[in-house]
Amino acid sequence: MVLHISPYSSACLHFLDGLSWSLVFPCYWLLDRLLASCVATSLEKRQRSQDPCSFLTLCVLISAPLYLLLLLASLPFALLGFIFWAPLQAVRQPYLYKHLELCFPGQAGLGGVGIGEWRPQGRSFCFCSANVCLLPDSLARFNNLSDTHRRAREVGKRIRNGASRPQIKIYIDSPTNTSISATSFSSLATGFRRTSSVDHRPDQTHTNNGPADAETEPLTECPIHPSGATDCPVHPEEEAETGSHRPGEQAGGDTGSMTASRESLTRYHGGDGSIGISSNNTLSHVPRTSIFKRTGRKRRHGDETFDHEISAFFPANLDFLALQEVFDHGSTTRLRRQLHRYFPYVLSDVGRYGWKGCCSRFKFLNSGLMLASRYPILDARFECYPNGRGEDALAAKGALFAKVHVGTSHQEQRVVGYLTCTHLHAIEGDASVRCEQLDLLLQWGAEFRQSSSQPPEGQKVLEDLVAFDVILGDLNFDNCSSEDKLEQQHTLFTQYKDPCRLGPGEDKPWALGTLLDPSGLYDDEVSSPESLQKVMENEEGRKEYLVFPPSKNQCPASSQKGRKIPLKGNGRRLDYILYSDEGLQQDWKLEIEEFSFVTQLAGLTDHLSVAMRLAVSTGEEEP
């Protein structure tokens, strides 16, 4: 159970890696910029069409030949560096573990949580999965996205802004209205239900088992609210007025956050008389700015046992975050820097480059996986899928397994949870490849749980108590497409439960597709978290901006965009959070409290995020 806090086992190898990469990097960067200048996003095309002689067009015409000349000049140095760099990748660690102390004076409850005694009634945990499409800029443009480094910083800011806002309980005084008038249930507390924010909040003392990240920004303001904010719940200077609703607190965001800070965190006042929850968690009049008619979305459907929603915010008090497609190295550093201001424990740089073991083909990209946690990580392992094909084989896609410490029983037994973050083969029509990867996922997961539960040799320790076993990731198939029938019937879904699924080929009516149509990412109707949320709450909006499963009579080679194909279901749901109740202690039970489709990364990625809050009850009563 040794966590790797450095990419290499020795400082000498680390130095050689840095030296060789410094020779390769100029060529890599110039090639990326050259290709990026040849592939324009829809936003850039729109700007150029409006002004053919714009500064942007002139820059492309001048920079492309310059990049080509410099690229040719850097090739000899890159070749020399590559000769040293490629063999070093065989001994590179499969992941990098970072642990930072979070010290916010007077702000207990933000960031990581300590480990204390496990309460008899149990606890709830919040999980989130997001595909953030942080590819090198030239490759990201094929998904109609650009400026990867800026997006990485913004993704991190929006995630921690959403997760670190307070949960708020709103009481309705009206005797005839017992519901909560809210467009986003995630901006409210879950009633009187327990959450991780109130179940357990011991002191914020942590022990560093790795060097501090020298790139971490110093905390100079409240991590939720900008300097000078008058409605910060941590520094309440004036109380929000909410009519007959009480109490109403507001959550803001960093001034550096672009769309999220301006539109997600400002109060709207309209004159249409409609009541809703504004994006700063304050009840107010909300103007209907969407071109689609807005409909109310129920928080609970039929006989469903848990709440579900489409939310403009990441869930408050998020405990575990699994990310996919964090491929670009510079973006990884920037994203980790932002996440470390909320999550103390992060596994990043997951996967190896070059040739290694089962990965027979040369890997130009790592796995793209990242896992962030508020609870200490005890053990981790990465496994690379050996059967990638085509362009997918150029990345070391695989599965990241982690064991986290979430509490200690009164018998001094550790209470632990198991997390799996994965990203499956993406090429359409390769169902057999994905099924083989699912087989390996189950096999590796069982082996990891068995090996990590073994006590150190010569030591006698009490057996760990398992609280949860959760799989998060982009599985690259949905539960409605006829082409994905093989994956839909995989044994994965007998061992793990999908909260959005009724059975093979059939999702629950409220389940939402998570793959956005890339061509519409820059439309005004979906340019902010709130506007995208409104569109997703409307059936016509979903038809316009989601990618849908093709009909049976459609040619597979034709366009997959939602605007151009026969529609089926509520869109292609590629992002999953699955949980298993096997292996739990006797009388322990898992219950979903809420499930969310999150739009807070609008304009930054072509996927919606998914989140789930899971309650673990022990069947005991509070003494």
Residue 583: how many CB atoms within 10 A of its CB? 13
4 noted as active-site residue:
no
Q: Which of 340, 425, 490, 607 is catalytic?
A: 607
CA angle 43, 46, 49 (to 5 degrees): 150
- Alpha carbon distance 87, 15 (integer Å): 14
**CA–CA gap between residue 347 and residue 172 (Å, rounded):** 43
Q: In whole angstroms, what is the distance from residue 285 CA to residue 123 CA?
A: 36
Q: Per DSSP, what are the bridge partners of residue 382?
A: 400
DSSP assignment of 260-318 equals: IIIIITS----SS--EEE-TTS-EEE----SSSPP----SS-TT-SSEEEEESSPPTT-
Round to whole Å and give the CA distance between 97 and 117.
Answer: 26
For residue 381, what is the enclosing H or E element?
A: strand 377-384
Helices marked H in 193-281? 196-199, 259
Q: Which residue has the tokens 């941590």?
A: 234
Which residues, at least 6 apart from 583, have a Cβ–Cβ distance to it below 8 Å?
449, 466, 469
Three-state SS at 130: strand
606 DSSP 8-state letter: S
Residues 6+ apart with CB under 8 A from 253: 157, 158, 161, 224, 225, 226, 260, 261, 264, 265
**Catalytic residue set:** 607
